[in-house]
Amino acid sequence: MEEPLRAGDRVVLRYRLSEAEVAAAPDGPHLTDVVGVLTQVGADAVVVDSRRGPVTVARSAVVLAKRLPPALPRC
């Protein structure tokens, strides 16, 4: 059994978009992904520091969470 994700882990999260985001683009996707470093793990939400900045995701919206290896250095 894999250990729970912790702050500092590099992760990918697949999560459901909010009803407002889906309504704004009804023909678009209903799920999206974020990749980055997990910076906060709360009872109701998690925060991932992605290349585009911090992304807060409600835990109830998370469909999949996976730990990733460290990112390769960028040239």
Residue 50 lies in a domain: yes
Q: Is residue 3 part of a domain?
A: no
| Domain that residue 37 falls in | 10-68
Residue 52 lies in a domain: yes
Looking at per-residue confidence, does 23 or 48 come out higher? 48
The answer as to whether 19 is a domain residue is yes
Question: How many separate domains does the chain show?
Answer: 1
The answer to whether residue 1 sits within a structural domain is no
pLDDT tens, 26-59?
Answer: 888 899 999 999 999 999 999 999 999 999 999 9
In the numeric block, which tokens belong to residue 29? 């996707």
Domain assignment present for 18: yes
| 4 located within any domain | no
The tokens for 35 are 């990749």
Is 75 within a domain?
no
pLDDT, tens digit, 9 for 90 and up, residues 60-75: 999 999 999 998 888 8
